[in-house]
Chain A
């Protein structure tokens, strides 16, 4: 086993776009050393002197992001993200990774894909949508369910518009918890989007990412609809400090989420405590 360095690589920011006052979309040059992430993996991003944190990938190199770059959505929520989101194109972020489990996509072929994204959960699931669309002929029907607190908080609107215009490829369903006048879409929690869906429950694979409360309700609902436990995939969130299965911060029971996750199937983790 080689010693794995925690030294990051300087990666230039290619573009920065504010999606709203606190969610900032970054396009970043990928690390040079073997950066071939799979959907669901994550990177550790730092600014020396400020700190380091894990971030999911909103687009992978050559698959939604231009070759040699990757994308992240970073919410301004603490000291580190405040400073990262002040960086501009041409500035440098310090990146190491990708970390986490590589889930083989062959197993999802010839199934229906159902993606449920709550709030910021759309960021990692965006790379799943991009992956699916890049190999569109290998999957059957694709549904993307997106929930946000309000219309203003809907993320990746350009993508949502583009995808919504490609009805044959992906069915986009939106809902918001509350809206002012002018929103003619649906109002309600994300599970309400499942009401109108006629799913082939045995042949559907679901990917979920959102706040813990969303997992709890969606899991119950999807299981009741007859989806198999091994077909329910969650991307979980923990505050990894190393990414190497050492620091213990992401441990759930005997599982290290930085190695055996963050993308896990419900069958693998349902017997563990403190999952969602």
Chain B
């Protein structure tokens, strides 16, 4: 399928979105004030294929920020009955950057190797993803090249290279080919365009500076040698425990569960919602004891989870290098800087 690269004139993008909308809830990056967000798109809505990145990652469509686990209703006998929400429309994401594609692989690896969940893998299975190549770093803090996600083109059924004059569309799965067939006949990319694409891909590496001097697989070992509190105290001292890094992270998976009752109390929902290891109280138990009470412990835990525990338990590095956490940290705690420091240590 490597050679299946078609030209998609920009005005035909709407036809693709229209085709996807028949089977999916279609979402894509859209300009929203001074920023870009993932939101529902339909033909006619200008898709911002030149978007730098979004604050909230695509995981919002696979493990939503708030999700009803079930609804409860008190019957006449006083007992509660439960009802699971109807399964939602599968989602199609159009324009997913390589770092976020990588995060979908991480999410799958996590959920499939963690004890027993089918909810998130099921949504990933039913989804349709159109990837989008990046040509320059989207954030000063991003380091996708170092984390090996810049070159990643899976899992995407279709993958788009915006080479300026035209969009080049690579078919990567049978489902991708099936969808494209309905969009109408597309011309194959011309030899000149393929040459231009190869050139751009070669030149791309230079526009992404190398920040780390080691492969991400080495992180687990480097972190193992960097357990001591004193290495973390100064950085942790800056942490405000706001939890933003957790919320914007494309691979964070932790959630809280609480009940949202109606005013009468007779019915409501049990809801799971995003939380994170940097939020105060996350590791607190009944009676008030906290097993990870200090910011030093919490920060180290977050970094270790991404760089050590995830590779060891789930077989994937938990950081894609997207740069969101550092960008949105109010005190500029940079995971890249931390990785750099631990990697430098002898």
Residues of A within 8 A of B (CB): 1-8, 10, 46, 48-53, 75, 77-78, 81, 92, 94, 211-212, 237-239, 241-242, 244-249, 251-254, 256, 258-259, 273-275
- Whether B259 is near chain A, meaning CB under 8 Å from some CB there, is yes
Per the bound structure, the CA–CA distance linking A266 and B71 in Å amounts to 41
Interchain CB contact under 8 A, B116 and A247: no
B60-90 CB mask vs A (1 if < 8 Å, else 0) is 0000000001101010001110101000000
Known: A3-B122, A77-B287. A254 touches B115 (CB 8 A): no
- Chain A residues near B117 (CB-CB < 8 A): 1, 3-4, 244-246
Interchain CB contact under 8 A, A6 and B69: yes
Within the complex, the shortest CB–CB distance from B78 to chain A, in Å, comes to 8
- Whether B313 is near chain A, meaning CB under 8 Å from some CB there, is yes
Known: A246-B115, A274-B297. A211 touches B304 (CB 8 A): no
Question: Quick one: which of A246, A251, A273 has the most chain B CB within 10 A?
Answer: A246
Determine which of A242, A244, A253 lies in contact with B304 in the assembled complex, contact meaning CB atoms within 8 Å: A253
Known: A4-B116, A244-B117, A273-B227. A49 touches B82 (CB 8 A): no
- Chain B residues near A253 (CB-CB < 8 A): 304, 309
Known: A10-B80, A77-B287. A244 touches B297 (CB 8 A): no
Interchain CB contact under 8 A, A241 and B287: no
Interchain CB contact under 8 A, B111 and A246: yes
- Chain B residues near A50 (CB-CB < 8 A): 259, 261
Output the nearest chain A residue to B286 by Cβ-Cβ distance: A77
Nearest first, the 6 A-B pairs at minimum CB distance are A245-B115, A248-B254, A3-B118, A49-B261, A254-B309, A48-B72
Residues of B within 8 A of A (CB): 69-70, 72, 74, 78-80, 82, 84, 111-112, 114-119, 122, 227, 253-259, 261, 265, 268, 270, 272, 277, 282-287, 289, 291-292, 297, 301, 304-305, 308-309, 312-313
Determine which of A6, A246, A254 lies in contact with B308 in the assembled complex, contact meaning CB atoms within 8 Å: A254
- Chain B residues near A273 (CB-CB < 8 A): 227, 297, 301
* Given A7-B84, A48-B270, A50-B261, 6 new contacts (CB under 8 A): A1-B116, A3-B122, A46-B270, A94-B80, A246-B253, A254-B309
Determine which of B122, B254, B309 lies in contact with A247 in the assembled complex, contact meaning CB atoms within 8 Å: B254
Per the bound structure, the CA–CA distance linking A160 and B181 in Å amounts to 76
Q: How many A-B Cβ pairs are below 8 Å?
A: 129
Determine which of B84, B114, B259, B286 lies in contact with A246 in the assembled complex, contact meaning CB atoms within 8 Å: B114
Known: A7-B82, A49-B265, A51-B259. A256 touches B114 (CB 8 A): yes
- Chain A residues near B265 (CB-CB < 8 A): 49
- Chain B residues near A3 (CB-CB < 8 A): 117-119, 122
Interchain CB contact under 8 A, A239 and B255: no
Interchain CB contact under 8 A, A247 and B256: yes
Determine which of A75, A248, A259 lies in contact with B255 in the assembled complex, contact meaning CB atoms within 8 Å: A248
Interchain CB contact under 8 A, A5 and B84: yes
Per the bound structure, the CA–CA distance linking A75 and B253 in Å amounts to 31
- Chain B residues near A211 (CB-CB < 8 A): 289
Per the bound structure, the CA–CA distance linking A81 and B114 in Å amounts to 30
Output the nearest chain A residue to B311 by Cβ-Cβ distance: A254
Within the complex, the shortest CB–CB distance from A31 to chain B, in Å, comes to 13
Known: A6-B270, A237-B285. A246 touches B312 (CB 8 A): no
Within the complex, the shortest CB–CB distance from A83 to chain B, in Å, comes to 11
- Chain A residues near B268 (CB-CB < 8 A): 48-49
- Chain A residues near B308 (CB-CB < 8 A): 254
- Chain B residues near A4 (CB-CB < 8 A): 116-118
Within the complex, the shortest CB–CB distance from B166 to chain A, in Å, comes to 43
Per the bound structure, the CA–CA distance linking A254 and B292 in Å amounts to 14
- Chain A residues near B305 (CB-CB < 8 A): 251
- Chain B residues near A1 (CB-CB < 8 A): 112, 116-118
Per the bound structure, the CA–CA distance linking A46 and B258 in Å amounts to 10
Per the bound structure, the CA–CA distance linking A6 and B282 in Å amounts to 20
Per the bound structure, the CA–CA distance linking A274 and B300 in Å amounts to 12
- Chain B residues near A94 (CB-CB < 8 A): 80
Cβ contacts A to B, 28 pairs, < 8 Å: A2-B116, A3-B118, A6-B69, A6-B70, A7-B82, A10-B80, A49-B259, A75-B287, A92-B79, A92-B80, A211-B289, A238-B285, A238-B291, A239-B283, A239-B284, A239-B285, A241-B255, A241-B257, A247-B272, A248-B254, A249-B254, A249-B283, A251-B309, A252-B291, A256-B114, A259-B115, A273-B227, A274-B291
